[in-house]
Amino acid sequence: MVQELFNLLLGEGITPNQYSILYHCRENLRCPLPNSDGEARILQLKGYLDTDNKLTAKADSVLKKADLIFGKSTIVPAGNLAEQIKEYRSKFPTGRKGSFDEVEKKLLRLFKNHPELNMDIIQKATTLYLSTMARNGEERYIMKAGNFIEHVTNKTNTILEWCEQVLEGEAPKDDNPMYEVA
């Protein structure tokens, strides 16, 4: 568990002391560390704290990942997951829906590894993907629902690329037809 936390911090480029500051900020506690003001300034420069020392989305993501390591968080997204999976699968054409169990397993793994994501982002990314494929006349190349969630090409996860586009404000164009499931 400790090694996993250190790997997370190393990957995020923050020190254990900086993580402690983030944790204390989230819990509204006074941080007992020496030089916490200097460390907070570094966290501001790295984008983990704003100028008022409030947590940013980047900090929230690190804290959620740490919570998963310590077992303080659940990986199940809010709402009725079964209904959300049903809605997700319904977007895909017949023969590309994948099994419910496969999609559920891959979604839960995705949420565990990327707690900053939620089903709303996943649904929007899926809609963007399918509408883009339809607009480009590439319906025959649409991935299966499960593979869209967990399919790595060129060391990049496909759904994460589409989620990034959604988070950056990309949306399906109104003048382009959505992929219609028969």
Cα–Cα distance measured from residue 182 to residue 177, given in angstroms and rounded to the nearest whole number: 14
Percent of the chain with pLDDT over 90: 35
Q: Please count the other Cβ atoms lying within 10 Å of the Cβ belonging to residue 56.
A: 16
Confidence of residue 13 (pLDDT cuts 50, 70, 90): very high
Phi, psi values for residue 124, rounded to 5°: -65, -40
Confidence of residue 43 (pLDDT cuts 50, 70, 90): very high
3-state SS, one letter per residue, for 78-144: CCCHHHHHHHHHHCCCCCCCCCHHHHHHHHHHHHHHCCCCCHHHHHHHHHHHHHHHHHCCCHHHCCC
Q: Which residue has the higher pLDDT, 97 or 157?
A: 97
**Residue corresponding to tokens 């790295």:** 46
What confidence tens digit (pLDDT) does each residue in 55-75 have?
A: 998 888 888 888 777 765 555
What confidence tens digit (pLDDT) does each residue in 132-154 have?
A: 999 999 989 999 999 999 876 65
Q: What residues have CB less than 8 Å from 179, skipping those under 6 apart?
A: 91, 93, 130, 131, 133, 134, 139, 142
Cα–Cα distance measured from residue 87 to residue 83, given in angstroms and rounded to the nearest whole number: 6
At residue 14, the pLDDT reads 93
Confidence of residue 179 (pLDDT cuts 50, 70, 90): very low
Q: Which two tokens stand for residue 161?
A: 């690329």
Q: What residues have CB less than 8 Å from 57, skipping those under 6 apart?
A: 116
- Among 152, 159, 101, smallest CA distance to 127 is for 159
Q: Which residue has the higher pLDDT, 4 or 182?
A: 4
Q: Looking at the predicted structure, is the pLDDT value of residue 105 above 90? A: no
Query: What is the pTM (predicted TM-score) of this model?
Result: 0.54
Strand pairing class (156-157; 152-153): antiparallel
Q: Which residue has the higher pLDDT, 77 or 68?
A: 68
